Amino acid sequence: MIDFKEYIPVAQKIREAVLPLLDSGLGKEMTGIASSGDTTFRMDEIAERVLSEELKSRNLPVAYYSEDRGLVEVHREPKYLLIVDPVDGTRPAVCGFEMAVVSMAIAAFRKKPTFSDLLAGIIVEIKSGDVFFADKLSGTLTFPQGKRLNLSENTDLTRLYWSFDVVGRPVRPLMAALGDLIQGSAVNGGCFLWNSA
């Protein structure tokens, strides 16, 4: 059975490459437009380069799909597809905020994968270096320093603490759909809008 943890060092190398750019001003330079239509920043460009170099140097049987480059077949016969956002939260990252991660989902290789094809997930927090890992096949869940998730038992949506972002989304329809939830939770709970996450 494949050990998907072998992909964690790839995510950690991306983190190492972009960490010095946090809140330095150096990562904010706009360098292009991604295949998704989003702005590509210098930080994104560096992260994408490291992702490509790391996967090629490790000769892993993968293709990957990223926001900036779309589908890239690294191996001639990929067995797995990585869905990667090398800097998930570029705008907060270039400002030095904590809410930026390297995110990877791993699926069996198919041209049109669905959520049911996902096999594993890796999140590496860029600022802290904390690693979160989940493997569907083995049932493994790994949290930083052995911590466990502290899930709320609250079911009252007016006491909900949550956040969302609206980058690249039409704001009016989104607010119309979320309006009651925002109104209900903003006073008794907490609702945080990250317009540029």
Rounded CA separation 188/160 (Å)? 8
If DSSP codes are grouped into helix, strand and coil, which group holds residue 193? strand
pLDDT number for residue 111: 79
For the residues 5-13, what does the mean pLDDT come to? 94
Residue 27, pLDDT above cutoff 80: no
Task: Tell me the per-residue pLDDT of 41-68, one tens digit each, with 9 for 90 and over.
Answer: 888 999 999 999 999 999 888 999 998 8
E strand segments, 60-197: 62-66, 70-73, 80-88, 101-108, 118-125, 131-135, 140-142, 161-165, 190-194
List the domain boundaries for the chain. Answer: 4-146, 157-194
Domain range 4-146, CATH class: alpha beta
Residue 197 pLDDT grade (very low, low, confident, very high; cuts 50, 70, 90):
low
pLDDT number for residue 68: 83
Pairing of strands 70-73, 80-88: unpaired
For the residues 146-158, what does the mean pLDDT come to? 81
Rounded CA separation 14/5 (Å)? 15
For the residues 103-120, what does the mean pLDDT come to? 91
Most confident of 33-42, 88-97, 111-120, 160-169: 111-120
What are 191-194's contacts with CB under 8 Å, separation 24+? Answer: 191/160, 191/161, 191/162, 191/163, 192/162, 192/163, 192/164, 193/163, 193/164, 193/165, 193/166, 194/92, 194/99, 194/163, 194/164, 194/165
